[in-house]
Amino acid sequence: MAESLVTERTKLKRIPDRGTHERETIYKILDEGFICHVGFVVDGQPFVIPTGYGRIDDHVYIHGSAASRMLRNLQKGIDVCVTVTLLDGLVLARSAFHHSMNYRSVVVLGKATLVEDPEEKLTALRAISENIVRGRWDDVREPNAQELKATSVLKLPIQEASAKIRTGGPKDEEEDYSLSVWAGVLPFRLTPGVPEVDPKMSVEAAVPAYIKNYSRTPRS
């Protein structure tokens, strides 16, 4: 399947050992993240907007207010780019030039289409919600007809896509290894803090386990 994801536009141009078109690698990154940056063009001007997302099989789903500029434009079937970036660390080399970051990122290109089928729409909203907080959907009130109408859901096929990954320590010039400079990696993680209860809580309800033990472990 991997080859099908490569096109002239997603072909990895530089440092190809950092890049891959493998579907499994791409899905793993998409499933660990939950915020993407969506790029689209209006009157020649690119816009990049952050938003939540979810994946079902070989599609990425995003949602938003039916009234938003992004959703109104995207549902016309224009070209989009969905990028997901996971930052893993800062790479501290002995020279300014060889500083880098460890990261995993995915770029998906294609045309997004509006999800019109009510059942698929609800399934997609659930997938987005579950990707952001697994276990939440079953605890809360589902969207009613009016809320569904106010929400647009778009899907983008994962057909043209690539991943880029950098791992490991700095790679310095041979002569720089003798410099008296600390070198290494400062790892980074997006970590959840202590849950803050809504002061408007009027009922007794414990913090759910999926909040208390929140982590971005890949789904099985």
CB of 110 closer than 8 Å to CB of 160: yes
Residue in 25, 31, 135, 169 binding its own copies, rule: CB under 8 A: 169
Pick one of 3, 197, 215, 220: the residue that binds its own copies (CB under 8 A). 197
Give the integer Cα–Cα distance in Å for 31 and 61: 12
How many CB atoms sit inside 10 A of residue 214's CB? 16
189: contact with its own copies by CB under 8 A? yes
Taking the complex as a whole, the smallest distance from the CB of residue 5 to its own copies amounts, in Å, to 16
The answer to whether residue 65 forms part of the interface with its own copies (CB under 8 A) is yes
CB atoms < 10 A from the CB of 36, how many? 22
CB of 1 to its own copies, least distance (A): 23
For 98, residues 6+ apart whose C-beta sits below 8 A from its C-beta are 91, 170, 171, 172, 173, 176
Annotate each residue in 135-164 with x if it binds its own copies (CB under 8 A) or - if it does not, as one string. Answer: -xx-xxxxxx--x--xx-------------
Q: What residues contact residue 24 under an 8 Å CB cut-off, 6+ apart?
A: none
- Which of 3, 196, 215, 220 touches its own copies (CB under 8 A)? 196
Stretch that binds its own copies, among 24-32, 54-62, 112-120, 176-184 (CB under 8 A): 176-184
Report how far residue 83's alpha carbon sits from residue 17's, in angstroms, rounded to the nearest whole number: 19
Interface of this chain with its own copies, residues 19 to 58, rule: CB under 8 A: 35, 37-42, 44-50, 52
69 in helix, strand or coil?
helix
Q: By CB under 8 A, tell whether 117 contacts its own copies.
A: no
Q: Does 174 bind its own copies (CB under 8 A)?
A: no
Q: Tokens 């499994």 identify what position?
A: 24
The values of phi and psi at residue 37, to 5°, are -110, 120
Residues pairing with 106 in the sheet: 84, 163
Is residue 68 near its own copies by the rule CB under 8 A? Answer: yes
| Shortest distance in whole angstroms from residue 64 CB to its own copies | 9
- 165 is an interface residue for its own copies by CB under 8 A: no
The contact pattern for its own copies, residues 73-102, with x = CB under 8 A and - = no contact, is: ------xxxxx-x-x-xx-xxxxxx-x-x-
